[in-house]
Protein backbone atom coordinates (compact mmCIF):
# COMPACT_ATOMS: atom_id res chain seq x y z
CA UNK A 1 0.00 0.00 0.00
CA UNK A 2 1.27 3.44 -0.90
CA UNK A 3 0.60 6.02 1.81
CA UNK A 4 2.71 9.10 1.19
CA UNK A 5 3.59 11.64 -1.47
CA UNK A 6 7.20 11.11 -2.53
CA UNK A 7 7.08 7.33 -2.01
CA UNK A 8 9.11 5.31 -4.54
CA UNK A 9 6.97 3.34 -6.98
CA UNK A 10 7.37 1.44 -10.27
CA UNK A 11 5.16 0.23 -13.09
CA UNK A 12 5.48 -2.43 -15.73
CA UNK A 13 3.96 -1.41 -19.06
CA UNK A 14 3.76 -3.31 -22.33
CA UNK A 15 5.36 -0.45 -24.28
CA UNK A 16 7.68 1.34 -21.83
CA UNK A 17 8.45 -1.76 -19.72
CA UNK A 18 9.56 -1.17 -16.12
CA UNK A 19 9.98 2.47 -15.13
CA UNK A 20 10.10 3.99 -11.66
CA UNK A 21 9.42 7.31 -10.00
CA UNK A 22 7.56 8.91 -7.10
CA UNK A 23 3.99 9.43 -5.96
CA UNK A 24 2.85 13.00 -6.70
CA UNK A 25 -0.79 13.12 -5.55
CA UNK A 26 -3.58 11.01 -4.04
CA UNK A 27 -7.35 10.97 -4.70
CA UNK A 28 -7.03 12.28 -8.26
CA UNK A 29 -10.25 12.65 -10.30
CA UNK A 30 -10.12 12.68 -14.13
CA UNK A 31 -12.65 12.88 -16.94
CA UNK A 32 -12.07 10.66 -19.98
CA UNK A 33 -13.80 10.23 -23.34
CA UNK A 34 -14.44 6.62 -24.35
CA UNK A 35 -14.60 5.28 -27.91
CA UNK A 36 -18.28 6.30 -28.18
CA UNK A 37 -17.35 9.85 -27.12
CA UNK A 38 -19.09 9.40 -23.77
CA UNK A 39 -17.57 10.99 -20.68
CA UNK A 40 -16.26 8.64 -18.03
CA UNK A 41 -15.09 9.70 -14.58
CA UNK A 42 -12.22 7.98 -12.79
CA UNK A 43 -11.64 8.79 -9.13
CA UNK A 44 -9.48 7.64 -6.22
CA UNK A 45 -6.50 7.43 -8.58
CA UNK A 46 -2.89 8.19 -7.70
CA UNK A 47 -0.59 10.36 -9.87
CA UNK A 48 3.12 9.57 -10.24
CA UNK A 49 5.97 11.12 -12.21
CA UNK A 50 6.56 7.84 -14.08
CA UNK A 51 6.57 7.96 -17.89
CA UNK A 52 3.93 5.89 -19.69
CA UNK A 53 2.31 5.88 -23.12
CA UNK A 54 -0.63 4.29 -24.91
CA UNK A 55 -0.37 0.53 -24.56
CA UNK A 56 0.87 0.62 -20.95
CA UNK A 57 -2.68 0.72 -19.52
CA UNK A 58 -3.47 -2.34 -17.46
CA UNK A 59 0.15 -2.73 -16.41
CA UNK A 60 1.08 -3.58 -12.84
CA UNK A 61 2.11 -0.83 -10.41
CA UNK A 62 4.34 -2.03 -7.58
CA UNK A 63 6.64 -1.05 -4.73
CA UNK A 64 9.84 -2.80 -3.80
CA UNK A 65 11.77 -3.31 -0.60
CA UNK A 66 14.96 -4.97 0.63
CA UNK A 67 12.82 -6.78 3.20
CA UNK A 68 10.44 -9.63 2.22
CA UNK A 69 8.02 -9.70 0.47
CA UNK A 70 10.40 -7.58 -1.69
CA UNK A 71 7.75 -6.61 -4.28
CA UNK A 72 4.17 -5.58 -3.46
CA UNK A 73 1.55 -5.03 -6.15
CA UNK A 74 -0.30 -1.78 -5.36
CA UNK A 75 -2.37 -0.98 -8.46
CA UNK A 76 -3.03 -0.92 -12.19
CA UNK A 77 -2.00 1.68 -14.79
CA UNK A 78 -5.08 3.52 -16.11
CA UNK A 79 -3.59 6.51 -17.90
CA UNK A 80 -0.59 8.68 -18.46
CA UNK A 81 1.80 10.37 -20.84
CA UNK A 82 5.50 11.20 -21.07
CA UNK A 83 5.33 13.05 -17.73
CA UNK A 84 2.87 11.19 -15.49
CA UNK A 85 1.27 7.82 -14.91
CA UNK A 86 -2.09 7.56 -13.19
CA UNK A 87 -2.98 4.32 -11.49
CA UNK A 88 -5.94 2.85 -9.69
CA UNK A 89 -4.96 1.40 -6.31
CA UNK A 90 -5.50 -2.33 -5.90
CA UNK A 91 -7.70 -1.70 -2.84
CA UNK A 92 -10.11 0.38 -4.96
CA UNK A 93 -10.19 -2.21 -7.76
CA UNK A 94 -10.95 -5.01 -5.31
CA UNK A 95 -13.62 -2.98 -3.49
CA UNK A 96 -15.41 -2.04 -6.72
CA UNK A 97 -15.11 -5.58 -8.13
CA UNK A 98 -16.66 -7.00 -4.98
CA UNK A 99 -19.53 -4.48 -5.08
CA UNK A 100 -20.26 -4.91 -8.78
CA UNK A 101 -19.47 -8.58 -9.32
CA UNK A 102 -19.64 -9.97 -5.74
CA UNK A 103 -16.13 -11.39 -6.12
CA UNK A 104 -14.05 -12.83 -3.31
CA UNK A 105 -10.26 -13.08 -3.45
CA UNK A 106 -8.25 -15.83 -1.81
CA UNK A 107 -4.48 -15.64 -1.66
CA UNK A 108 -2.45 -18.75 -0.97
CA UNK A 109 1.15 -18.17 0.08
CA UNK A 110 3.62 -21.04 -0.23
CA UNK A 111 6.79 -20.45 1.77
CA UNK A 112 10.10 -20.97 -0.07
CA UNK A 113 11.96 -24.22 0.60
Question: How many CA atoms within 13 Å lie on the side-chain side of 26?
Answer: 9
99 vs 107: CA distance, rounded Å? 19
Residue 103: the pLDDT is: 60
Q: Is residue 26 classed as helix, strand or coil in its secondary structure? A: strand
pLDDT single digits (tens) 60-98: 999 988 888 789 999 999 988 888 999 999 888 888 777
Q: Which domains does the chain have, with CATH numbers?
A: 8-101 (2.40.10.10)
- 50 pLDDT tier (thresholds 50, 70, 90): very high
Residue 110: the pLDDT is: 72
Amino acid sequence: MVTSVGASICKSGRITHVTCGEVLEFDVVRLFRDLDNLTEIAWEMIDTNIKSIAGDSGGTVFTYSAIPPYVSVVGTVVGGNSYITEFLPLSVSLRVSRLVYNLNLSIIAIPPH
